[in-house]
Amino acid sequence: MAQNFRRYTSNDVGTGAATIFTADSFDTVVGISLANITTSTVEASVYINDGSNDIYLVKDAPIAAGGSLQVLDGGAKFVVHSGDALKVISDTASSLDVWVSAVDAIST
């Protein structure tokens, strides 16, 4: 089975939850990076909505001005099913740039 590497981005994420991507198959999330683009500390949350529930990967994590948070690194992975939506929200308007790396398994 081949792998299809994908990246999903969003800039200026703020106080309204931003859907970074919605899985269309069984995907593996291999990296999530949040960058604070403001001059003040912000609090950020990352969660997956499975259609019924919000499951937090990190909740209200502080990110210093100009700093970043690696939600996934060091070999950690999350498997998401079709329809699962990865979302990011901040306590401050237009404060985060988000980068997500994922892998789709595709039939050959």
Q: Where are the domains of the chain?
A: 2-106
Domain 2-106 classification at class level:
mainly beta
| Residue 39 predicted with pLDDT over 90 | yes
| Residue 13 predicted with pLDDT over 80 | yes
Residues composing the chain:
108
Mean pLDDT computed over every residue of the chain: 92
Supply the pTM of this predicted model. Answer: 0.91
**Core vs surface per residue 73-87: b (16+ CB within 10 A) or e:** eeeeebebeeebbbb
pLDDT in tens, 44-84: 999 999 999 999 999 999 999 999 999 987 678 889 999 99
68, 36 contact by CB (below 8 A): yes
Tokens at 102, concatenated: 């994922």
pLDDT of residue 24: 87
99, 39 contact by CB (below 8 A): no
pLDDT of residue 4: 87
